[in-house]
A and B are shown apart, each in its own frame.
Chain A
């Protein structure tokens, strides 16, 4: 080839050498970083909400989907270690003590409502596991319980001095929860405690005592409200102990328990005139209560009148301990009206402190299956007093002729006690968390949103409804797996905010759809 055409070749080679543009898609994913958080030894401290209690029981699947375990899976991505939990035997739930059932198996949704699965518990409390565990959530624990030595003593379970869930994992019969926690030298913790300090009172329909002013928790009964100062002192102690080794953590406050489905599911007007077992009885009932209502009117308390509508649902009849007991006056009036003394005595005794429920009264979830049924205890009592069986039966129908006792109803006055206590507790929790520089989740605010407008998280519009709301499990108190995962996301965001990690920005919040809202009957 002629030399003067060499330029052709040069051009050619130049073209071939041209670099191609780089069309690789820029990596938009953000690398997950822990910030200042040290997840190397994470211990969860708290109550049933930490343990993964759901559908009225603690069982394996629920434990796997516990908030702390969900958190630990994410922490494991950036320095977190193994996370151990005191797993129960199976997915039945419930506990045995010496072979006797002391905690019921779990609930499932049978198509109309919660029902117990038809399998019996196998997890034996006395079969103590070798702890300690990263998940130190103890169902039923109140704040001061965590500091109590002997709270994990199997021998004390039957008598109520010890907690069966802690008993099965305590390092020694005399160990306290906090001792077992601190023995693990946690670098990071979650602390979810205090709900039981009011919930047990509320759940029992205010059957316990408000111990405000009593600074000695050893004198408290199981259903009492803890004194706010005691709570504050205990809580502060827990936090200072947990952070004594420099550990970081997340604290959640206490939701307003009066808005959980345990109290909001059973309507105050459940008596349906179209119910064939109830509707036909209404004229008879109204005739009977007509005499009573006249007596009420005579005594100037016509607001206690009992009337059942034949066209709309009617409120149940409740025993209200906050009302003045007018049995004696009522007895006189009824006798004066010509009733025989036995009947007058029965009625005045039965309706001396009663009224129909209003929308301000909260009926607890277990009352659902009790309303309209025969109260055997009272029936037997009447029969033993010589009341004819038929009359005794008519006067022993729960919520209709037999006013529902205190434990079934959280009266407005009791609600106020609960709310007051929660507000005082929460004020302290927030202050203590802030002082300790810990991450904080305002569970109370979340609950308020859930109960009013609904809570939109992770693509779901959660509500506080039982069964369909998505957040609360079938026991009406504890969360579903999806609810616990949502709680875990709230905690991850709180950790991001406090410690500079980036779980949210890195797309590492949990996909709530992966966590079931229901556990099937068997699996």
Chain B
């Protein structure tokens, strides 16, 4: 303990002055003799360092006495060191290309730098090299080419990353951190892809840990976690920029221009202060979603029956048509018209009990499909002692418009999320605090927009419809002919037509009204505050072992003005905290065996504390440690989301009511009831349906719904990483066992009576009830397992070949919870392959990648569909012009336009053709 205090004291108080010298030089490739940009140059034992510029050159000031040793590292090259013995020395370094990826350094698997071979768990990474060779339109999209990684495309500006199955667009089971900051929207509780993210110019590295890792990262590190690290302005200085433009090509949307540009400026003002600013902006036309089919639920775990446009009845509810949900029995309308004397008495006998839905609006009538994303990242970095101690202030903002698909389809319009972070760190510790705030801007629910626009004059429309229907019937029409005529007539006379001022006016009224009973706007100003710290004791205990402890604190401040949450009387605050420790030790000669054990304790204000352990073992075999075997046991948990806890939203068919103990005594919107009543004194919806059919009281089941608690996963992983001849092999298999999946249950609550006596039944009979959706946990027994195989090799000296095979499957006994929809949403078989060369001939490179996925059942509340197998080709060719530090790339994703979609209801992903110019990356 004394020693720690002493060290801390020196850290904060010791100011030692050193002589300054400037080291400079150039780094070149031993094979091509070309300069290598982006090589990390570092003084060993210090955090001091820089990176080579586009010409492979570097230069920085060192306040260090000679001699000292410089280390040169770059992905794909063998590490080099050189001893500097003279002040202001100029050195030329020749790096040999490495044929092993095992030495690549990753940080996230153990919260400390280690080589990939030592990583205790499966980890995927991508860096600048990967970005350069990617054929995807953006680096974030190209993550799909990594092993075990699935991308769900919500929108042109919103791709959702997932690993290990159970994909949804609102991926609350996956964490994304940028420079340690959690990127999730505080109100939505999931990451909006890279909408609020990082510019590709500023990406230092991307790491993905598939599978559970709550032992280090706490709640929600459940399916996996994505880390993005930006470039430090001390090490990566100068001005860099890119400009991309091209076409998005989709059958529905046609050909549309898009452009994407970015600039990054970083400068170190001496060795103590550095700053950077990075800005990028992308604008295009989103993928249109114009599926007019209705997806009719036929049973849990089965694909919906797909009814093409206006088949099977007059209340067709097209998945991308909104407002057609407004439907009624026209015989009832006829009877009220009779009562009002608007049609002859008795005429309702000519009007069948047909449920007719209003003509809805196509999605494209309710959105401009403007896909826009602006990202700003500013950081001020201060090294008070010009050593590894660094104080960082970071401001990160994302602004954009995109489409998100959950239960409905949502237009996020002028959505803003900002993060402010203050961090102090050195090689042994970090302490940081950050705040995330969001403003939903002019976002709205597109389904409710259509519904509420059509609700305004629903009576007139249906009245006109029935009048026209009757007239046609009395003129000799069949019912079908009369329906068609009535629809045409009432649409022509009542329905507002897109493009007219009346339509625009009503659209504006509805989308600016936050009351879902009549509007569709989202109001959200939710904030999240996080503080966390970590200390690595390794250096204090002479690297006897690696020992880290850390903790985190998180506070949510929900603020939707009563529109989403029950926060009508002011913001709702709640807290979570956690602490963890990890010990890791290497054994045997040449440290071939590494054991790591971690444990984390998390406590949410509303739930019992939760311990998440992790155990792992890595063994390196072979003369050059070329065969590495790993096994791990990990756990993950996911806290119920802010919505699961505090929602109080009248969604029309049901009122959604969150399950937190604090929420239970709040009055729910549009009712006189509280959540406590709903959870404790309701009937299950199935029993009410059974009762209504049988009239038998015994069928009625009073239900007490369990309050939602965290869901949990245990993951077992086995892996091998190494070389078989010249082929690099990475293979892993996993088995995940899930517990307490968070689920919904719909109940019907008597308003005045109670389920404990006949008063509840009387309420049911009199229709004096409300329907609620509650948040609880499923008892379903679920497990998933899979194997990922990755093979990489180089042939003919120049061509890099990659091959990935992913296999995943689900083990779920539906009978353990008949109503629970597992939503594995992952193809059983996937293949990813690539071929490319960074330098096919002088300054010229190319890459082609191919992805194939098997057909699979995509389940979601919006619809369930068996998505067909798809094949996607991406390709790029690039040409480097060293003289102007530029790389030009012509590329295309989904060449051939074999359009596919991630889920029913979302837009088909078409092709993108682009040309880009990147300067000084």
Cβ-closest chain B residue relative to A19: B828
With contact pairs A8-B729, A109-B474, A461-B348 given, residues A18 and B353 touching in the complex (Cβ less than 8 Å)? no
A-B contact pairs, 12 of them (CB 8 A): A8-B729, A15-B787, A15-B805, A18-B809, A458-B352, A463-B346, A465-B349, A468-B349, A513-B478, A517-B350, A518-B474, A518-B476
* B window 37-85: CB within 8 A of A: none
- Complex Cα gap A8–B331 (Å): 67
With a CB–CB cut-off of 8 A, which chain A residues contact B475? 518, 520
| Contact call B349/A23, Cβ cutoff below 8 A | no
Residues on A with beta carbons closer than 8 Å to the beta carbon of B787:
11, 15
* Contact, CB under 8 Å: B346 / A514: no
Least Cβ–Cβ distance between A85 and chain B, in angstroms: 21
Closest 7 CB pairs of A and B: A513-B479, A520-B476, A459-B352, A468-B346, A15-B807, A470-B349, A463-B349
Q: Which residues of the other chain, B, contact A18 by a CB distance below 8 angstroms?
A: 807, 809, 828-829
With A8-B789, A25-B303 as known contacts, state yes or no: A1 contacts B349, CB within 8 Å: no
Considering the chains assembled together, what is the distance between the CA atoms of A456 and B352 in angstroms?
10
Within 8 A of A (CB), among B619-642: none
Taking a contact as CB atoms under 8 Å apart, the answer to whether B731 and A462 are in contact is no
Q: Which of A1, A16, A468, A512 contacts B352 (CB 8 A)?
A: A512
Q: Which of the residues A23, A515, A523 comes within 8 Å of B866, measured between beta carbons? A: A23
* Nearest opposing residue in chain A for B805, CB measure: A12
Known A-B contacts A513-B352, A518-B475; A469 and B346 likewise in contact (beta carbons under 8 Å): yes
| Residue on A nearest B350 in the bound complex, by CB | A470
Indicate whether A390 reaches chain B with its CB closer than 8 angstroms.
Answer: no
User: What CA separation (Å) do A471 and B729 show in the bound complex?
Assistant: 78
Chain B residue numbers with a CB within 8 Å of A1 are: 724-725
Tell whether, in the assembled complex, residue A20 and residue B353 are in contact, meaning their CB atoms are under 8 Å apart: no
Cα distance, A468 to B857, chains bound together (Å): 50
Complex-state Cα separation, A287 to B787, whole angstroms: 107
Asked if A2 is an interface residue, CB under 8 A from chain B, the answer is yes
B854 part of interface (Cβ distance < 8 Å): yes
Contact surface of A with B, Cβ cutoff 8 Å: 1-2, 5, 8, 11-12, 15-16, 18, 20, 23, 25, 109, 454, 456, 458-463, 465, 468-471, 511-520, 523
Closest to A5 in B: B724
> Known: A1-B724, A465-B349. Is A25-B474 also a contact (CB below 8 A)?
no
Where chain A touches its partner, the secondary structure class is loop
A471: which B residues are within 8 A, CB to CB? 349
Contacts of B349 in A (CB 8 A): 454, 460-463, 465, 468-471
Please, which residue of chain B has its CB at the minimum distance from the CB of A460? Answer: B352
CB <8 Å contact, A16 and B346: no
Contacts of B789 in A (CB 8 A): 8, 12
Supply 6 further A-B pairs (C-beta < 8 A) apart from A18-B807, A18-B829: A2-B724, A2-B725, A12-B805, A468-B345, A513-B478, A513-B480
A-B contact count (CB 8 A): 90
Chain A nearest CB from B238 CB (Å) reads: 45
- CB nearest to B348 among chain A residues: A461
Chain A: which residue is nearest B475 at the CB level? A520
B344 beta carbon closer than 8 Å to chain A:
yes
User: Which B464-515 residues have C-beta < 8 A from chain A?
Assistant: 473-480
Are A468 and B347 in contact, CB atoms less than 8 angstroms apart? Answer: yes
B15 within 8 A of A: no
Interface residues of B (CB under 8 A from A): 298, 302-303, 305, 331, 344-350, 352-354, 473-480, 724-725, 729, 731, 787, 789, 805, 807, 809, 828-829, 854-855, 857, 866
A511 CB to closest chain B CB (Å) equals: 8
Q: How far is the CA of A413 from the CA of B348 in the complex (A)?
A: 34
Question: How distant is the Cα of A331 from the Cα of B724 in the complex, in angstroms?
Answer: 132
Complex contact A514–B476 (CB within 8 A)? no
Chain B residue at minimal CB-CB distance from A523: B476
Q: Are A519 and B476 in contact (CB under 8 A)?
A: yes
B807 partner residues in chain A, CB cutoff 8 A: 15, 18
With both chains docked as a complex, state the minimum distance between the C-beta of B788 and any C-beta of chain A, in angstroms.
11
Q: Which residues of A contact B346 (CB under 8 A)?
A: 463, 465, 468-469
Query: Whose C-beta in chain A lies nearest to the C-beta of B355?
Result: A459
What CA separation (Å) do A15 and B808 show in the bound complex? 10
A346 → chain B, closest Cβ, in Å? 41
Pick from A462, A514, A517 the residue with the most CB of B within 10 Å. A517
Chain B min CB distance to A148 (Å): 37
CB of B303 within 8 A of CB of A516, answer no
- Write the chain A residue with the least CB distance to B480: A513
In the complex formed, the residue of A with least CB distance to B855 is A20
Which residues of A sit under 8 angstroms from B729, Cβ to Cβ? 8
Q: How many Å lie between the Cα of A55 and that of B480 in the bound state?
A: 22
List residues of chain A with CB within 8 A of the CB of B344: 468
> Nearest B residue to A2 by beta-carbon distance?
B724
Q: A18 → chain B, closest Cβ, in Å?
A: 7
Chain B, residue nearest A471 (CB): B349
Q: How far is the CB of A419 from chain B (nearest CB, A)?
A: 25
B832 nearest CB across to chain A (Å): 14
Give, as a whole number of angstroms, the nearest-CB distance from A87 to chain B: 19
Please give me the residue from chain A that is nearest to B729 by CB atom.
A8
Least distance between A358 CB and chain B CB atoms (Å): 23
CA distance A1 to B793 in the complex (A): 13
Minimal Cβ-Cβ distance residue in B for A480: B350
Which residue of chain B lies nearest to A61 when distances are taken between CB atoms in the complex?
A: B476
B831 CB, nearest partner CB in chain A, Å: 9
The answer to whether B353 and A25 touch across the interface, beta carbons within 8 angstroms, is: no
Q: How far is the CB of B857 from chain A (nearest CB, A)?
A: 6
Minimum Cβ distance to chain A for residue B591 (Å): 25
> A25 contacts which of B305, B476, B828 (Cβ < 8 Å)?
B305
Complex contacts, A11 vs chain B, CB 8 Å: 787
Nearest chain A CB to B127 CB, angstrom units: 27
* Chain A hits for B331, CB < 8 A: 459, 461
**Chain A residues with CB below 8 A from B477, complex form:** 516
Asked if A16 and B725 sit within 8 Å, CB to CB, the answer is no
The CB with the most chain B CB atoms within 10 A, among A456, A468, A523, is that of A468
Kindly provide the distance from the CB of A412 to the nearest chain B CB, expressed in whole angstroms: 25
Within the complex, what minimum Cβ distance (angstroms) separates B305 from chain A? 6
Query: Which residues of the other chain, B, contact A458 by a CB distance below 8 angstroms?
Result: 352
Query: Quick check: A514 and B805 within 8 Å, CB to CB?
Result: no
Given contacts A460-B352, A463-B349, whether A514 and B480 have CB atoms under 8 Å apart is yes
Q: Can you name the residue of chain A whose Cβ is closest to the Cβ of B306?
A: A25
Residues of A with C-beta under 8 A to B866: 23
How many angstroms between the C-alpha atoms of A465 and B349 in the bound complex? 9
- Which residues of the partner chain B approach A25 to less than 8 Å between Cβ atoms? 298, 302-303, 305
- Which residues of B sit under 8 angstroms from A460, Cβ to Cβ? 349-350, 352-353
Question: Given A454-B349, A460-B353, A465-B346, A516–B828 Cβ distance below 8 Å?
Answer: no
Q: Is the CB of A20 within 8 A of B478?
A: no
Please give, as numbers and ranges, the residues of chain B lying within 8 Å of A512 by CB-CB distance: 352, 479
Q: What is the CA–CA distance of A109 and B473 in the complex, to the nearest angstrom? A: 11
